[in-house]
Amino acid sequence: MLITARSNRGAGGPDDAVDRGVVGHAWSADPEHWEHRGPLTEPGQGFGQLEVVQTYEIDGRHVLMFSTGAEHVYPQDSGATGGVWWAPAASAVGPFDVANAQRIGGDELYVGKLIRDRETGATRLLAFVMDVDGEFVGEIIDPGTVVWEGDRPVLRR
């Protein structure tokens, strides 16, 4: 199980106290007994939180998907906004290149989940809509198709 987590230590630098978002990891042979396996990422990768984490394989390439708000992207003066992000992954349990994560779709999307279209086999993205002020709208976008363009997955709606 991948878990939204924060490290109890910083990575050093000006955002030390806040740039602590990590992907936690737990394992279980049954649904009742869980073993903490430690984080799969390190703090200091540019995010104060990585929410709704999911690993997914798109056309043979693994990605880590997560969401974060603009207030949790560091450094704060980078101009980066919140939304649904993806990071390159070597496998379903990493390693993950969170420091080079990129947003997929616009900043109006949040809590993105990748799914496989049962009829076509295509990879689709479902996500909630945020309005322009960052408030939760409560509606889900029509599924968009995610395809690789070069070295990055792109959302086509």
Model confidence, pTM? 0.91
Convert the pLDDT of each residue in 99-130 to its tens digit: 999 999 888 899 999 999 999 999 999 999 98
Q: How confident is the model at residue 134 (pLDDT cuts 50, 70, 90)?
A: low
Q: Please name each of the domains of the chain with its CATH number.
A: 2-156 (2.115.10.20)
Convert the pLDDT of each residue in 27-49 to its tens digit: 999 999 999 999 999 999 999 99
**CA distance readout (Å), 127 to 31, 40, 44, 45, 147:** 27, 24, 26, 24, 16
> How many CA within 13 A on the CB side of residue 43?
20
Judge residue 112's burial from the number of C-beta atoms within 10 Å of its C-beta, 0-12 exposed, 13-18 middle, 19 or more buried. buried
| Bridge pairing between strands 136-140 and 123-130 | antiparallel
| pLDDT over 90 percentage in the chain | 73
CB 23 within 8 A of CB 53: yes
